[in-house]
Structure 1
Amino acid sequence: MTSNKPGTTHQSANPLLRDWHTPHAVPPFAEIDVAHFAPAFEAALKEHDAELAAIAGDPGEPTFDNTIVALEKSGQSLRRVSSVFFNLAGAHTNDALQAIEREIAPVLSRHSSAIFLNESLFSRVDDLFARTDALGLDSEQARVLERYHTAFVRNGASLDPEGKKRVSEIAERLATLGIRFGQNVLADEKDFALVLESEEDLAGLPETLVDAAAQAAADRGLPGKHVITLSRSSIEPFLQYSARRDLRETAFNAWIARGERGGETDNRSIIAEMVALRAERAALQGYQSFAHFRLDDSMAGTPEAALGLLQTVWGPARARALNEQAALQELVSEDGANFELAPWDWRYYSERKRAADFDLDEGRLKPYLQLDRIIDAAFYTANRLFGLSFTERDDVPVYHPDVRVWEVTGRDGRHVGLFLGDYFARSSKRSGAWMSSFRSQEKLTGDRRPIVVNVCNFAKASANAPTLLSFDDAHTLFHEFGHALHGLLSDVTYPMISGTSVARDFVEFPSQIYEHWLERPEVLQKFAVHYRTGEPMPPELLERLLAARNFNQGFATVEYLSSAMVDMMVHMQPPGDGFDIGEFEGRSLEQIGMPRAIAMRHRPPHFLHVFAGDGYSAAYYSYMWSEVLDADGFDAFVEAGDPFDPDTANRLYQHVYSAGGRQEPAAAYEAFRGRPPVADSLLKKRGLADA
């Protein structure tokens, strides 16, 4: 294994800037202090600047090696420092880290702009791109060159000096605003705790949720009490089971008001400024809206194409949701109540209806869905499909005691990478679930193996009790592990196209197709075992679980689609001032006919995907776009007659999981499937084909 630190800094006293003599060169977290980050960033930026200056000032004719390879090898210290810092800032932050995050965001933005707006660098890349056919490049090299040229152009390299200056200013301001947005949401989440004081407050809650709420209270210095937090794994089951309508309303209103509570953490003015800046940036580069700019480098190609898919699904999903709403309203009436079903009622009555229709409730399912066993199920699936083995390591440094580490090896026994699992909610972690990397795979500087992490927010059980998951939580674990495999199995030469460095509306395909294996009887029968008795889930319960997989699908689809459609419509706005996100949200939901009893999965003031950076801005549709691929893609296994068919799995590995961004996404999918995707599989998968 090559060193994880460049030789120029190995003598540094700063642990972030010296060689890491840890197992597989994992960051030495115990040695790293917050005070190390500022000087480490300063040194790494200085080193990168010198490397870039040498490339730009090379007097020789541009070649692939002296320009593209040199760019790929540059900035190693900065990538390492950034990976440690931003992983901690998301998964285990504190006030000091947040202060550095606010300071470093505009600095890193300026540094990035200085690269892409450097005329000498762009001239060399542009010259090479114009001569691509004459350079004798292999397909991977040609793809990397194309990606570099596209990155330069999309970051403003072709603009005049005034345009370049303004693009840089916009990027810097957006970086600052994105950090503030995310920190505001985290502050609102940390600030809220619904304390359940009495037995009456616990009415309807299953034992597992009561146990998790007791642990959450203990973590907040309230032993003997119970606390519901705004972590999705806490509040959603509370809304699902609590018989106290008044407490459900209190909790729900706090949940949807994150980022919209007034005061310093209110995100509405931040959204207005970000929307205006994004639109201005797009206009500077000749696009009619930010959405058109963003999707120009995607599978969808245009916002109209993406919206077309969303609208195709919206009609049957809304019709199904309204039917579901009517059925739930009947349950309200049967209770002798005369209120209209509200968003804080939906999960409660939906759970009751599922129990009635399928003799199935989450309280019966959870004892069979132990976190450790679902992790084992994800590993088992990876072994059956790709020959991977996972060995837990207790000698590898971690950034929090809850983090677990597994060494991943291939069929030949060789080291593939390290997988870190950080599964439990805590106040130092932002909400949601995600995959990230401390190191990405590449071969340009040696056989550099990946270090990948999954971060989730499952409610932790009290001491000595197993953590039990909902079926949705289990899906989340499989989803994020699909992303992890995309990083772990990457087998490319160049960092630019490593792992998950693919189009945004393709990156969810490897994660979403992986979710299918959770629902396979072969997997559930083996790993869904009762945490007390060790007995497998009874066949009739498993049968009911799978029969109910599309229950409440109208609600789930509408909840997601409304967020995706509003995201797209927001970013199709032309440049302008005075944008009122609250008014726009209300008008947009009325326009699409949003059912009043359903709230968006992510309202704009806390829509981290879209406003805590540019990750999914004008791109939240990507989950649905990728779902067309995953629904159609898993059918390849169905058609083969075996969910673990070796030939199909090998094509999935070769053209998707190991390929990174080596090909255009459409070409990669067709190489796996043998044809373009068929969208009908999506409606069938969601049970909406006849809606």
Structure 2
Amino acid sequence: MRSLVPPQPPPKWTHTAEEIKELTDHAIAAHRVIQDTIATLKPEECTLESLALAEGNAILDNSTEPLCFYQNVSPSKDLRDASNAAEIKLRDYAVESSMRVDVFAAKTAAQKNIKASGHMLTQEEERLVDKMILDGKRAGLALPEAKRTVLTDLKKQLSQVTLEFSKNANEENGHISFTLEELKGVPKDVISGYKKRAQDGRELYDVTHKTPDIFPVFKYADDSVTRQRAHESYESRLAINVPLLEMALELRRKLADLLGYPTWADFITEEKMVKSAKNVRDFLDDLEQRLRPLGVKERQTLLGLKAEDCEDRGIPFDGEFMIWDYRYYDNKFVEKSLKLDDALLTEYFPVVAVVPTILEVYQNLLSVYFEPIDAERWHSDVQAFAVWENDATDESGFVGYCYLDLYPREFKYGHAAVWPLSAGYTSRDGRRYPVAAMVANLAKPSPDRPALLRHSDVVTFFHEFGHAVHTLLSKTRFARFHGTAVARDFVEAPSQMLENWCWEPHVLARISSHYERKEPLSPELVNKVVKSRYVNVGLFYLRQLFFAKFDLKVHTDHEAEDYTALWSHLRETVSLVKGGVPGSGQGSFGHIVGGYDAGYYGYTYSLVFAADMYATVFKVDPLDPSRGARYRKSILEPGGSREEHDSLKEFLGRPANSEAFMRELFGSEAKL
């Protein structure tokens, strides 16, 4: 295996700021030449082959996506700024490119010629043609010229606003400080990772807003004032984005109106599995109605736990359930009802043991091999892999490249996500191979302990790595349909399904290893972890519905309103927790500008498909490679090259349904 040489070199990661600019300009110029050439074709000369747009678009995207990626991971401000500027330029060009009436006319002529010729297209070719025509209509190319000019300007404004929103989020580096006494209850290994300093004769610990730093305060800090201060700081960390969000929503309203859609949500859902804003609303309302009684019951239980806690401490009980109470008493409930010590559990998930084992699980299940390689990287922390088929004997078994950037650092993207840096596709010169990068912020080591993961971090890793393998194992002809380029309300389903592995007893035993004793989780601990999955599941999903309902409402209402008040109101009425003084949480709702606008419902909607896939195929034996092969063939390989319902039907042997999801949610009480 190690003697094999990949047929495609890994990407370059030593660009200068000037190179980013030059390469971006060159890529845009080359793509513009392709479009100009297409525009000169006579109507009768237009065919799928003569347009050559699919490969031109793939070359543009694959050559520039890595350049735009630097802004999320580079320690260099010059590179981040150049990367951000490149993305602005590319987004503006995308608007310009999408508004070319002459190119749209050539596409329309090609579609007409194909139908007239009687030439049979493949399913993927036919889908490409249909999508190209729909793109033009959705871009407003059927509008009069004056309206198209306005539309182009609005799109460019929206692009700049959303980019600035994301840039602010990536570069947010605030913190809140506490004394050691105020942090009572937070595990020592977490506190040891905080920056310590002296101020006014006091020793203070700086807690950043990064997840590994501040979430343990929400979960473990005994002092409710500490948790409240931490929440208020976290909630308002991106207040700078509030006016940008308002601008983005207003621009989207104007765009929807120009394009003839009732709302932005109707425009967005046209290409989704759900098909309309009304269907989204019906789905969310129905699920809220079903979940609410369960959530109310769980809230009362946690409120009772708070009352007991206040009595034990000899402090007044205010009778309220605040957002800074939620994670703390949820954890207390797990400790009390299951006798599950989360801090003890964490000791069984050292990063150095867990990450390689998770890779092994994926490799065995999907019959691939991740070979560590010495290649250029954007930071010394990054791990690079060449990915091969397990049975590869020559370069034809090459799959692609994968990068893991797992640890937090200043100015790095603050959550966990996967970037498909290059799509795979078939070019005139042969196969082009995909490149995926997974970015995370796993816990840092402390002076007396290695880096340890919470079980929730393990679940997140399984989920995100699922997106990486979707990118790597897709095999479409056209880059447009590669990997995660599926309907946005399906894209999470494959990764959500893979989260189930983290709750299977034999998988938990396999991926766990105590950082000192090297022992796996005991059967007793495994049983407690499995049971903890369904603790307060009603409140958990009501919180998801709060985000989804906020997202839907701001994208269906025609008039702007006080979004801070709306955020606070929906959180209290839907997720059943109070937030105190309204902050500016919507300023940190990155999904709303990051491709999930009018689409956050998809996280819960896609769970229906995830639950069905797992229960129907994998539950019997989740590590069976033959089931993994079926998953590769039916779900991963087709990407977006066909209707997602068709992929599900092939995989399941029948149309998908919601029975498994409802069983999972509403049978949960019986599992505790």
Instruction: Please give the TM-score of this superposition, normalised by the length of structure 1.
Output: 0.88
Q: Which amino acid aligns with 1:55?
A: I
Q: Which amino acid aligns with 1:209?
A: V
Contact 2:349–2:512 (CA under 8 A) maintained in structure 1? yes
Structure 1 counterpart of 2:636:
657
The 2-side partners of 1:232 and 1:108 are apart by: 31
Q: Which shifted more, 477-486 or 200-209? A: 200-209
Deviations 1:616-639 (A, max 9, x none): 000011111110000011012256
Is 1:622 the counterpart of 2:622? The answer is no
Shift of 1:452: 0.7
Pick from 235, 257, 265: which aligns with 1:283?
257
Q: Which amino acid aligns with 1:213?
A: Y
Is 1:534 the counterpart of 2:518? The answer is yes
Is 1:560 the counterpart of 2:520? The answer is no
Structure 2 counterpart of 1:10:
none
Pick from 185, 196, 199: which aligns with 1:204?
185
Mapping of residues 539-688 of structure 1, within 5 Å: 539-574=523-558, 576=559, 578-589=560-571, 592=574, 594-596=576-578, 603-611=585-593, 613=594, 615-637=595-617, 641-687=620-666
Shift of 1:235: 1.4
Shift of 1:424: 1.4
Secondary structure of 1:493's partner?
A: coil
Deviations 1:298-327 (A, max 9, x none): 100011212222222223433333222222
The 2-side partners of 1:556 and 1:525 are apart by: 26
Pick from 485, 505, 509: which aligns with 1:521?
505
Shift of 1:258: 2.5
The 2-side partners of 1:637 and 1:645 are apart by: 10
Q: Which shifted more, 353-362 or 593-602? A: 593-602
| 1:233 to 1:560, Cα distance in 2 relative to 1, 3 A | farther
Secondary structure of 2:420's partner?
A: strand
Structure 2 counterpart of 1:323:
297
Pick from 58, 66, 70: which aligns with 1:88?
70
Structure 2 counterpart of 1:181:
165
Q: Which shifted more, 681-690 or 55-64? A: 681-690
Structure 1 counterpart of 2:343:
363
The 1-side partners of 2:344 and 2:358 are apart by: 22
Shift of 1:545: 0.8
Pick from 451, 454, 461: which aligns with 1:470?
454
The 2-side partners of 1:285 and 1:475 are apart by: 41
Secondary structure of 1:209's partner?
A: helix
Shift of 1:122: 0.7
Secondary structure of 1:36's partner?
A: helix
The 1-side partners of 2:572 and 2:331 are apart by: 27
The 2-side partners of 1:369 and 1:443 are apart by: 41
Pick from 386, 409, 424: which aligns with 1:441?
424
Shift of 1:242: 1.3
The 2-side partners of 1:28 and 1:646 are apart by: 34
Deviations 1:529-569 (A, max 9, x none): 11111111111011111111111222221221100111011
Deviations 1:626-653 (A, max 9, x none): 10000011012256x3223455433321
Contact 1:560–1:601 (CA under 8 A) maintained in structure 2? no
Shift of 1:587: 4.9
Structure 2 counterpart of 1:304:
278
Shift of 1:497: 1.0
Mapping of residues 165-180 of structure 1, within 5 Å: 165-180=149-164
Structure 2 counterpart of 1:501:
485
Pick from 334, 345, 348: which aligns with 2:325?
345
Contact 2:272–2:489 (CA under 8 A) maintained in structure 1? yes
Shift of 1:240: 0.7
Is 1:432 the counterpart of 2:415? The answer is yes
| 1:232 to 1:317, Cα distance in 2 relative to 1, 3 A | farther
Q: Which amino acid aligns with 2:420?
A: S
Structure 2 counterpart of 1:411:
390
| 1:601 to 1:511, Cα distance in 2 relative to 1, 3 A | farther
Shift of 1:91: 2.3
The 2-side partners of 1:47 and 1:127 are apart by: 23
The 1-side partners of 2:638 and 2:204 are apart by: 50
| 1:75 to 1:350, Cα distance in 2 relative to 1, 3 A | closer
| 1:291 to 1:27, Cα distance in 2 relative to 1, 3 A | same
The 1-side partners of 2:450 and 2:581 are apart by: 32
Shift of 1:380: 2.7
Structure 2 counterpart of 1:378:
358
Structure 2 counterpart of 1:123:
105
Q: Which amino acid aligns with 1:128?
A: A
| 1:88 to 1:308, Cα distance in 2 relative to 1, 3 A | same
The 1-side partners of 2:584 and 2:634 are apart by: 33
Contact 2:211–2:414 (CA under 8 A) maintained in structure 1? yes
The 2-side partners of 1:316 and 1:601 are apart by: 29
Structure 1 counterpart of 2:370:
390
| 1:155 to 1:451, Cα distance in 2 relative to 1, 3 A | same
| 1:319 to 1:374, Cα distance in 2 relative to 1, 3 A | farther
Structure 1 counterpart of 2:200:
none
Secondary structure of 1:529's partner?
A: coil
Mapping of residues 482-493 of structure 1, within 5 Å: 482-493=466-477
The 2-side partners of 1:127 and 1:304 are apart by: 35
Q: Which shifted more, 204-213 or 147-156? A: 204-213
Q: Which amino acid aligns with 2:71?
A: A
Is 1:213 the counterpart of 2:194? The answer is yes
The number of residue pairs the alignment matches comes to 647
Structure 1 counterpart of 2:434:
450
Shift of 1:202: 3.7
Deviations 1:460-497 (A, max 9, x none): 11368432111111111001011001000011111111
Contact 1:325–1:597 (CA under 8 A) maintained in structure 2? no
Secondary structure of 1:629's partner?
A: helix
Contact 1:105–1:176 (CA under 8 A) maintained in structure 2? no
Q: Which amino acid aligns with 1:608?
A: G
Secondary structure of 2:418's partner?
A: strand
Contact 1:272–1:580 (CA under 8 A) maintained in structure 2? no
The 2-side partners of 1:427 and 1:42 are apart by: 29
Structure 1 counterpart of 2:121:
137
Shift of 1:27: 2.9
Structure 2 counterpart of 1:34:
17
Contact 1:402–1:424 (CA under 8 A) maintained in structure 2? yes
The 2-side partners of 1:383 and 1:592 are apart by: 41
Instruction: Please give the TM-score of this superposition, normalised by the length of structure 2.
Output: 0.90
Structure 2 counterpart of 1:7:
none
Contact 1:390–1:407 (CA under 8 A) maintained in structure 2? yes
Deviations 1:250-293 (A, max 9, x none): 11111111322xxxxx2222222211211111121211000001
Deviations 1:667-690 (A, max 9, x none): 111111122222132233235666
